[in-house]
């Protein structure tokens, strides 16, 4: 069993040896009415990681801590510069399976071992507001770090943390920091105790990650593509724990990340060796397909629920809501199982290894050294040409299944064009940003059409199940008709949306 909380804090250097005499008076700062001494806590934590420190390299920490009010296992995952999600599990002798799974996208299945022991004598002060509510906790830690393997040496230091309470505006930290800064107190050199322990003790990974290939030219096409690929790999790794914990929209975001990576690896074949990237693209396609059912089910349930709730009561014939719940329970359970099976498979771990290697040492071709604007502009134009042909083909077809299929293919091409444009926004600037927005609008129109196509298929199955059970099918037929009308409306919107995206100067803009 686990529980979690959002932790928002900042760490500071302590300028005095005793760690107390330098502390400025914080009364009156950001609504602080009093500073209440809470005494001393003795904390003892063993941090776990892989031999090559994969968790630390991904800004995550896993520890087993005794002492204090929150003894237990803690997995900290990054959210923002100052915030982390801390997932807790009760004390036990080994790493809890739940935390091991949440760390899997970072550990990539490698064994988690004790790497460093950190003990701290913590002096705690509560920063209290006018209504006697705790705004934050200020702690001064006398820290001792002991490496548990290698030739590293122990280290010791003193640091301060200011952690806001759950309901406190994070802007509170800025006001406190201004006061601390005026007293000569600066930020700590590292964001966590583990990071500082690794630095201070000289603890090294047993197998250091490879550096980026020496052929990456700063500012080149290869450099820009590498940056984008790195960011998307990082996003996929970060989303894995959220998907496992069924966080809202996490499946959708992970699926989109798979698409972005697939699209960019395809669009930049002149930059990256396809002998390396094509197998990765296939595995990303596999992962995306395992996420698709869960996402589609989520979207359809939300869509149908809102449609049914908007109907007048006099039109609700039969056990419509009950039928929808039965349909969702069965479909959602199967989709969830397929997703978790995929994330727990050796195939997924192999994909994570491939992505880590791709981000760390991209397989660059000679073209990668070229000018980013020219190389990336050509990639945009190539995807645009494919999109242009598919939209034209779809618009030539009469309404019906063939046109639905053609519009879906145009939607896929719009996504690829959008993603390759998105990756080029930094070197190409405003023209790429504006074009990306217009293509996104085309994708939105085509996406609305495809959503209606998928919804009609599901409504037909719901109507069939209702009929077999002797239930009225009126509501399902009514919703089917409305979905058909929505699809027709999107088709009428498409020519205008496409006209804005297909401006004559496009080839001149990106081809120069």
Q: What is the CATH number of the domain that holds 460?
A: 1.40.20.10
pLDDT higher than 90, residue 191: no
The residue out of 201, 236, 267 marking a domain boundary is 201
Instruction: List Cα–Cα distances, 313 to 288, 304, 320, 475, in angstroms.
Output: 39, 16, 11, 11
Domain shared by 335 and 447, yes or no: yes
The residue out of 151, 166, 201 marking a domain boundary is 201
For the chain, the domain total comes to 2
Q: What is the CATH number of the domain that holds 104?
A: 2.40.320.10
pTM greater than 0.75: yes
Q: How far apart (Å, rounded) are the C-alpha atoms in residues 268 and 277?
A: 10
Domain shared by 272 and 325, yes or no: yes
Query: Per residue in 450-468, pLDDT tens?
Result: 999 999 999 999 999 999 9
Query: Per residue in 57-109, pLDDT tens?
Result: 999 999 999 998 889 999 999 998 889 999 999 999 999 999 999 999 999 99
Domain shared by 141 and 227, yes or no: no
Q: How far apart (Å, rounded) are the C-alpha atoms in residues 439 and 418?
A: 6
Domain shared by 286 and 433, yes or no: yes
Within-domain flag for 446: yes
Average pLDDT over residues 437-455: 95
Q: How far apart (Å, rounded) are the C-alpha atoms in residues 5 and 75?
A: 11
Q: How far apart (Å, rounded) are the C-alpha atoms in residues 413 and 418?
A: 9
Domain shared by 295 and 383, yes or no: yes
Q: Which two tokens stand for residue 86?
A: 């801390």
Domain shared by 334 and 468, yes or no: yes
Within-domain flag for 385: yes
Q: How far apart (Å, rounded) are the C-alpha atoms in residues 512 and 502?
A: 17
Domain shared by 167 and 255, yes or no: no
Domain shared by 121 and 191, yes or no: yes
Domain shared by 145 and 229, yes or no: no
The percentage of residues in the chain with a pLDDT greater than 70, rounded to a whole number, is 96
Query: Per residue in 375-390, pLDDT tens?
Result: 999 999 999 999 999 9
Within-domain flag for 211: no
The residue out of 166, 201, 236 marking a domain boundary is 201
Within-domain flag for 209: no
Domain shared by 270 and 136, yes or no: no
pLDDT higher than 50, residue 214: no
Query: Per residue in 38-69, pLDDT tens?
Result: 999 999 999 999 999 999 999 999 999 999 88
Contact 113, 51 (CB under 8 A): yes
Within-domain flag for 212: no
Query: Confidence class of residue 213 from pLDDT cuts 50, 70 and 90?
Result: very low
Average pLDDT over residues 360-385: 93
Q: What is the DSSP letter of 112?
A: P
Query: Confidence class of residue 429 from pLDDT cuts 50, 70 and 90?
Result: very high
Domain shared by 190 and 234, yes or no: no
The pairing of beta strand 83-89 with beta strand 113-128 = unpaired
User: What is the domain extent for residue 71?
Assistant: 3-201
pLDDT value for 253: 94
pLDDT value for 21: 57
């Amino acid at each position: 069993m686990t529980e979690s909380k959002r932790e928002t804090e900042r760490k500071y250097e302590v300028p005095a040896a005793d760690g107390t005499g330098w502390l400025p008076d914080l009364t009156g700062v950001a609504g602080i009415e009093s500073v209440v001494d809470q005494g001393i806590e003795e904390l003892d934590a063993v941090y776990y990681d892989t031999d090559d420190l994969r968790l630390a390299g991904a800004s995550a920490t896993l520890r087993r801590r005794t002492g204090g009010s929150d003894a237990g296992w803690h997995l900290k995952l990054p959210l923002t510069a100052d915030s982390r999600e801390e997932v807790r599990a009760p004390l036990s002798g080994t790493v809890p399976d739940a935390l091991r799974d949440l760390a899997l996208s970072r550990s990539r299945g490698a064994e988690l071992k004790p790497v460093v022991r950190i003990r701290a004598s913590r002096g705690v002060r509560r920063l209290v507001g006018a209504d006697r509510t705790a705004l934050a906790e200020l702690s001064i830690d006398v820290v001792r770090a002991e490496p548990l393997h290698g030739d590293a040496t122990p280290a010791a230091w003193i640091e301060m943390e200011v952690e806001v309470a759950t309901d406190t505006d994070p802007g509170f930290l800025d006001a406190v920091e201004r006061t601390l800064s005026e007293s000569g107190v600066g930020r700590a050199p590292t964001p966590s105790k583990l990071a500082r322990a690794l630095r201070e003790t000289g603890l090294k990974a047993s197998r250091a990650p490879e550096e980026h290939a020496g052929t990456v030219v700063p500012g080149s096409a290869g450099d820009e593509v590498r940056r984008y690929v790195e960011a998307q790999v990082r996003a996929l790794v970060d989303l894995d724990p959220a998907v496992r914990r069924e966080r809202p929209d996490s499946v959708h975001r992970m699926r989109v990340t798979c698409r972005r990576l697939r699209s960019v690896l395809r669009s930049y074949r002149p930059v990256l060796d396809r002998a390396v990237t094509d197998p990765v693209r296939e595995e990303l396609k596999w992962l995306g397909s395992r996420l698709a059912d869960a996402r589609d089910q989520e979207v359809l349930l939300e869509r149908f629920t809102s449609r049914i709730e908007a109907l007048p009561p006099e039109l609700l014939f039969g056990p419509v809501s009950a039928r929808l719940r039965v349909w969702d329970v069965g479909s959602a359970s199967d989709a969830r199982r397929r997703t978790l099976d995929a994330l727990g498979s050796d195939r997924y771990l192999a994909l994570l290894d491939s992505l880590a290697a791709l981000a760390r040492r991209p397989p660059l071709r000679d073209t990668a050294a070229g000018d980013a604007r020219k190389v990336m502009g050509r990639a945009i134009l190539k995807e645009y040409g494919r999109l242009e042909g598919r939209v034209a083909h779809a618009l030539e077809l009469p309404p019906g299944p063939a046109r639905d299929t053609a519009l879906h293919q145009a939607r896929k091409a719009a996504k690829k064009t959008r993603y390759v444009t998105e990756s080029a926004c930094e070197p190409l600037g405003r023209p790429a940003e504006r074009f990306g927005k217009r293509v996104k609008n085309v994708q939105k129109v085509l996406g609305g059409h495809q959503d209606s196509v998928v919804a009609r298929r599901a409504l037909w199955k719901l109507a069939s199940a209702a009929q077999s059970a002797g239930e009225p099918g009126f509501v399902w037929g009514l919703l089917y008709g409305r979905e058909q009308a929505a699809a027709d409306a999107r088709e009428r919107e498409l020519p205008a949306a496409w006209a804005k995206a297909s401006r004559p100067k496009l080839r001149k803009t990106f081809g120069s």
